[in-house]
Amino acid sequence: MTKRFDGTRDLRRAVDRLARRLPEPLEDLAWISYNYLWSWTPGGYELFTTIDDHRFKLAGENPVRFLLNLPERDLLRAATNNHYLELLDGVARRMEADLARPTNRVVPTGPVAFLCAEFAVHQSLPVYSGGLGVLAGDYLKETSDQALDVVGVGLFYRRGYLHQRMDLSGWQHEYWIEANTGQLPIVRVRGADGLPVKVQVPVWDSELSAQVWRVNVGRTTLYLLDTELQENSPLERWVTARLYEGSHDIRLAQYALLGIGGVRALDAMGITPGLFHMNEGHPALALLEVASQTAAQLSGERPELKKLLDVSRDRFVFTTHTPVPAGNETYSSEEFFRVLGHSIDEMGIVRDELAALTRIDESSSTEPMGFSPLAIKCSRSTNGVSRRHGEVARGMWNPLFAGTLEADVPITYVTNGVHLPTWMAPTMRNLLSRFLGYDWERHANDLNMWNHVDEISDIDLWDARCQMRLQLVEMIRSRVVVDRLARGEDVDHAVSGLDAFDPTNLTLGFARRLATYKRLDLLFHDVNRLHRIVDHEHGAQFIIAGKAHPLDNEAKTVAKNMFTVKRTMDLPNRVIFLEDYDMRVAPALVAGCDVWLNMPRPPMEASGTSGMKAAMNGGLNLSVLDGWWSEGYNGQNGWAIDGSTMDDPHAQDEHDANALYDLLEKEVKPMFFARDSNGIPVVWLSRIRASLRSLAPMYSSARMVDDYNERIYHSHG
Ligand SMILES: *Cc1c(COP(=O)(O)O)cnc(C)c1O
């Protein structure tokens, strides 16, 4: 077997280095810290929080940084504590057993390379902005759990996605924090010569150079490309500085690095994928690199690009996440070739042939160039991310398949799912463990197993829900005071946040990227009605969170209007905005809310996943019948707002806002507060059981990865 320089050796060195700093009985902590598997292994968090909860939080829940900065006496104390050593041994043996399982090949010819512009594996590695990244992170974890042969490829954004601060007026400001690579659980991949593995991609007028970082996500490896190198100019180094830069130039450079550089990096490490999975259009230029590799193997005259791509078609599958044409980024051919012309020329590709493939109308010379048409035309399979999104995508891309009826457009769907061990709170996990049987988490997609939730008593289920709500309320109280002080609210108001929320009230959540199509403003459509919903001894309370893209002034205005409305409501502690939404706060929100709201403008929600996370925790969804909810809702497992579309968006908003208020007033609140003689909302609990039974198995990443395996990776046709 040829020796591979894929970072295995570099990781071992980093682990050894960290282990040498630890007392001998704690040495296992070193390798555990360098594999994110700890974050979803039972007991994993406790390994660090029981040493020093506060310091672990300060270290951003990054175990490497935590251990490197821990005073020696704390380490020694843990090393001599038998309870702690037992915990450590238990987690270490469990992780070892998981990592020692044999790997299952997905396709016989090599691993699946999963290419994506963002990955949300853990809050300590902030190379994600929202739903797409969380999906990609959950996918990697699930492929690890199923011992599948998969590698992830992405970019290492040193400053990641924005952090959010609101000012007094409710206007969003952004700031970025640069990562300290020396203290992250990642390692630079080095080659046989001991020097960092590097790849070059021509961008603008010079060579963009990138190094490769390796991250262990359980058994699955994630490689991240990074241009912060001496030999690169300041502009070139900026290419992997931040996610979703506004500049088209930077974005094109990022996507070239991801697609072309990603394939080259795998090559340089001796990894030959049997299949490339392009998750969203950003990595589509990978097609070109593989095509030019194909050309290099052919003798004689080089065939045209289309023919080359026909040869590699069998090795590519594509998942689209965008239900509206505007969401598919396009570029004028002038800007495209200004940035990527040299790359294209160097690969021996004829510019016009490429341009045609990126267009809907191949005979046009003015239509902007897009990655999605290229990916759809050149992959063996394209799928949307929910049943409804599949339909929408078939309609949207019908023009690519001239003469084909919409229903026959070859775009299928695999509905998204979420990684249960990541998103289900310990309280719920512990409760379910008593009823679902041995090793239930490994069978998350088993429909019959979930029928056992009917055996959970009212009192146990209600206790768990109340505990999770209380934990959320406590988190909100501590955060809201600081948020308010930081933006300069008066001290009395800031401190009143300590009494924010009532742990017995109906708690509703709305948290996701603040894009206008998500229609947070529906909630504030009729302030008097909202006021009546919250203003009662048995009232409701709303927790809202989310970030707007820095250039999205419309979305920022929605947030600002919310602040203005909140001020006029004189109930500032019943509707709370939590700043800087990310993976650190998301688990508490999806676990603690009784109702999870989603009001997208249909059909613009391709899938949505936060509602799935809420459902796993016993939260109930109240959502527009769009994305995953249009197939998940069955009449008993939550509430629905009609998902049909109207031509007049204002009329639709009016209609949907009223539907939302009606449901809250007439169904949700009365059901939550209808109690039996023991104070238990019996009907509410039966709805939770219906939700768990029907949604937890279907919207787990276990089901999603099974679907990819059976319907996308293995199907030819
Ligand atoms: C789950 C999640 C999302 C996606 O939420 P949607 O409702 O699908 O938009 C975004 N951000 C974070 C931090 C999440 O955990």
pLDDT reported for residue 324: 82
User: What average pLDDT score do residues 49-68 get?
Assistant: 97
pLDDT reported for residue 438: 80
Q: Does residue 360 surpass a pLDDT of 90?
A: yes
* Banded model confidence at residue 224, pLDDT cuts 50, 70, 90: very high
pLDDT reported for residue 1: 45
Lowest mean pLDDT among 94-103, 167-176, 313-322, 438-447: 438-447
The CB of 133 under 6 Å from ligand 1? The reply is no
7 CA → ligand 1 middle, Å: 31
Q: Please state, rounded to an integer, the average pLDDT across all residues of the chain.
A: 95
> What phi and psi values does residue 639 have, to the nearest 5 degrees?
-135, 155
pLDDT reported for residue 442: 85
The CB of 620 under 6 Å from ligand 1? The reply is no
User: What average pLDDT score do residues 409-413 get?
Assistant: 98
Instruction: Please give the sequence-ordered ranges of beta strands (E in DSSP) within 599-698, or none if there are none.
Output: 620-624, 638-641
The CB of 417 under 6 Å from ligand 1? The reply is no
Ligand 1, atom 3: closest residue by C-alpha: 131
pLDDT reported for residue 180: 94
User: What average pLDDT score do residues 9-15 get?
Assistant: 97
Quote the distance between the C-alpha of residue 235 and its chain's center. Answer: 28
Lowest mean pLDDT among 77-81, 117-121, 264-268, 486-490: 486-490
In order of 138, 247, 279, the CA distances from 693 in angstroms are 21, 46, 29
CB 311 within 8 A of CB 287: no
Best residue among 134, 135, 385, 699 to mutate for probing ligand 1's pocket (most ligand atoms within 8 Å of CB) is 134
* Banded model confidence at residue 3, pLDDT cuts 50, 70, 90: low
Specify the higher pLDDT residue, 380 or 442.
380
Q: Does residue 66 surpass a pLDDT of 70?
A: yes
pLDDT reported for residue 717: 43
User: What average pLDDT score do residues 449-467 get?
Assistant: 97
Structural element, H or E, at residue 532: helix 527-534
Q: Are strands 595-598 and 620-624 parallel, antiparallel or unpaired?
A: parallel
pLDDT reported for residue 569: 82
Q: Which domains does the chain have, with CATH numbers?
A: 8-99 (no CATH), 112-161+177-416+707-713 (3.40.50.2000), 420-699 (3.40.50.2000)
CB 583 within 8 A of CB 122: yes
Q: Who contacts 247 (Cβ-Cβ below 8 Å, separation ≥6)?
A: none
Q: Are strands 198-203 and 172-175 parallel, antiparallel or unpaired?
A: unpaired
The CB of 312 under 6 Å from ligand 1? The reply is no
CA distance linking residue 442 with residue 614, whole number of Å: 20
The CB of 512 under 6 Å from ligand 1? The reply is yes
Overall pTM > 0.85: yes
Kindly report, residue by residue over 92-112, the tens digit of the pLDDT.
Answer: 999 999 999 999 999 999 999
pLDDT reported for residue 9: 96
55 CA → ligand 1 middle, Å: 27
CB 115 within 8 A of CB 262: yes
Lowest mean pLDDT among 122-136, 315-329, 658-672: 315-329
Atom of ligand 1 nearest to the CA of 581: 13
| CA neighbor of 373 nearest in space, from 364, 365, 384, 382 | 382
Q: Are strands 187-188 and 206-217 parallel, antiparallel or unpaired?
A: antiparallel
Unique residue bearing structure tokens 């659980």? 185
Atom of ligand 1 nearest to the CA of 585: 13
CB 426 within 8 A of CB 355: no
pLDDT reported for residue 716: 55
Q: Does residue 325 surpass a pLDDT of 80?
A: no
> What phi and psi values does residue 55 have, to the nearest 5 degrees?
-65, -35
Atom of ligand 1 nearest to the CA of 131: 4
Q: Does residue 715 surpass a pLDDT of 80?
A: no
pLDDT reported for residue 707: 97
CA distance linking residue 526 with residue 524, whole number of Å: 6
CB 432 within 8 A of CB 444: no
* Banded model confidence at residue 529, pLDDT cuts 50, 70, 90: very high
322 CA → ligand 1 middle, Å: 15
> Long-range contacts for 630-636 (Cβ within 8 Å, ≥24 apart)?
630/386, 630/387, 630/388, 631/386, 631/387, 631/388, 631/415, 632/694, 632/695, 632/698, 632/699, 634/690, 634/694, 636/687, 636/690, 636/694
Q: Are strands 575-578 and 381-384 parallel, antiparallel or unpaired?
A: unpaired
Share of the chain above pLDDT 70, in %: 99
Q: Which amino acid is at 392?
A: V
pLDDT reported for residue 570: 76
pLDDT reported for residue 136: 98
The CB of 583 under 6 Å from ligand 1? The reply is yes
pLDDT reported for residue 2: 54
Structure tokens at 596: 């999870």
Kindly report, residue by residue over 364-394, the tens digit of the pLDDT.
Answer: 999 999 999 999 999 999 999 999 999 999 9
Ligand 1, atom 11: closest residue by C-alpha: 130
- Evaluated on CA atoms 235, 241, 244, 245, the torsion sign reads negative
The CB of 359 under 6 Å from ligand 1? The reply is no
The CB of 386 under 6 Å from ligand 1? The reply is no
Does residue 43 come out as left (phi exceeding 0), alpha (psi in the -120 to 50 range) or beta?
left
